[in-house]
A = this chain, B = another copy of it.
Amino acid sequence: MAGKSKDYVVGVDLGGTKILAGVVAETGEILGRVKAKTAAEAGYRNVLSTLATSVDLAISESKIPRPRIRAVGVGVPGPVDPETGVVKIAPNLGWKNVPVKKLLEKQLGLPVLVENDVNAGTVGEHRFGAGVGVKDLVGIFVGTGIGGGLIFNGTLYHGFSKAAGEIGHMIIDVNGPRCGCGNKGCFEAMASRTAILRELAAAIRKGSKTVLTKTVADKNMRQVGSSVIADAFFRGDKLTVKVVKRAARYCGVGVASILNLLNPEMVVLGGGVVEAFGSEYVHLVAKAARKRTFEVTFQGVRIVPALLRDDAVLLGAASLAREKAERAE
């Protein structure tokens, strides 16, 4: 009964603009959801204080007695050493070498596990979403950039310096467009929302007609959301259809590289772009990947949309915290 009594964990998704927290049961049920503003400009101590308050609030809203909370898992937007819980760098938060685990454990009096958000999201999909029971799974999240997570033999793979999963920086066009990282033709520079907007803007400059002309001209490109592009796509705007289909094909090229290299059982596609364009996008990706893989590599492999949307990171971080606590028993 002693083991059973600590049967809840808290999962937190620390994003650049908002913090999501919730108490997670073993079944993956989320109780006492809390949402707060990150306010990164106030500095990391303030952000972590807001985060700790959100955890406390989620616990009290969940009506689960605090002694039954076993641990806290936090997903953060940057590379982390999950052993030390130090966030090496988080550009969206302006962080460098922040000892998140240490600071939060002091404030919360609970064991804290810190993981990269994309890794956590992949684990979330593996434990409670599209990939339950799958042995080898690759998660690909397509939004402003492209990130990924790798699960081999049911376990999150970190690599030598805990930096594995930079899927967005696989090179798929050695002479391709410049990527934010400084290199050319990265997967991210070919298939992310940023790439789609860059291609739309270039075509507009060259005189192509599209319903998005005003939107793309008015806004900072990073502020044009996937849903705005998806509206134009589903209304049949010719330029948008062409550009999005090409980006989906490039996504399929990246998936093909991953299938040929890793031959996973499943590829889970998530993130804002995938959510906005839905199953049509996933279908285009799978078609392009199939064309570029061996029959033996493609056969039986499932390329599927993520299921958990905004809950993936929270649930994955919670799972990892729970599993670490169980291993320590």
Interface residues of A (CB under 8 A from B): 79, 88, 135-136, 148, 150, 152-153, 157-167, 169-176, 181, 183, 185, 190, 250, 253, 256-258, 260-265, 291-294, 296-297, 299-301
Copies of this protein, total: 2
Q: Is the CB of B164 within 8 A of A263?
A: yes
Q: Please, how many angstroms separate the alpha-carbon atoms of A176 and B294 in the complex? A: 18
Nearest-neighbor residue (CB-CB) of A155 within chain B = B153
Q: In the complex, which residues of chain B have a beta carbon less than 8 angstroms from the beta carbon of A181? A: 294
- Whether A261 pairs with B167 at a CB distance below 8 angstroms is yes
CA distance A214 to B214 in the complex (A): 61
The 6 closest A-B pairs by CB, nearest first: A159-B263, A164-B263, A160-B265, A169-B260, A170-B257, A166-B260
Set of chain B residues within 8 Å of A88, measured between Cβ atoms: 296
Assess whether B174 is in contact with A261, with CB atoms less than 8 Å apart: no
A79: chain B residues at CB < 8 Å are 296
Please determine whether B297 and A161 come into contact, CB atoms closer than 8 angstroms: yes
Check A261 against B173 for contact (C-beta < 8 Å): no
Find out whether the CB atom of B173 lies under 8 angstroms from the CB atom of A301. no
A176 to B183, CA, bound (A): 18
Given contacts A160-B135, A160-B136, contact A258 B261 (CB under 8 A): yes
Task: Say yes or no: A171 contacts B169, CB within 8 Å.
Answer: no
Bound CA span A256–B88, Å: 21
For chain A, what secondary structure do more than half of its interface residues adopt (helix, strand, loop), or is it mixed?
loop
- Residues from chain B with a CB closer than 8 A to the CB of A260 are 166-167, 169-170
CA distance A137 to B297 in the complex (A): 21
Compute how far the CA of A185 lies from the CA of B162 in the bound complex, rounded to whole angstroms. Answer: 30
Query: Which of B257, B294, B297 has a CB less than 8 Å from the CB of A171?
Result: B257
Query: Could you tell me the distance between the alpha carbons of A260 and B166 in the complex, rounded to whole angstroms?
Result: 5
A159 CA to B71 CA, complexed, in Å: 33
CA distance A157 to B265 in the complex (A): 13
Q: Take A152-B157, A171-B292, A174-B173 as given contacts and tell me if A163 and B263 are in contact as well, using a CB distance cutoff of 8 Å.
A: yes
* Complex contact B264–A294 (CB within 8 A): no
- Find out whether the CB atom of A250 lies under 8 angstroms from the CB atom of B169: no
Task: Tell me if A183 and B261 are in contact (CB < 8 A).
Answer: no
Nearest B residue to A263, CB-CB: B159
19 A–B contacts, CB within 8 A, in A order: A135-B160, A148-B261, A152-B152, A157-B262, A158-B263, A160-B300, A161-B263, A161-B297, A161-B301, A162-B263, A164-B262, A166-B263, A169-B293, A170-B257, A171-B257, A173-B173, A173-B175, A174-B190, A183-B292
Q: Known: A172-B172, A297-B166. Contact between A160 and B263, CB under 8 A?
A: yes
Q: Knowing A79-B296, A88-B296, A175-B173, say if A261 contacts B164 (CB, 8 Å).
A: yes
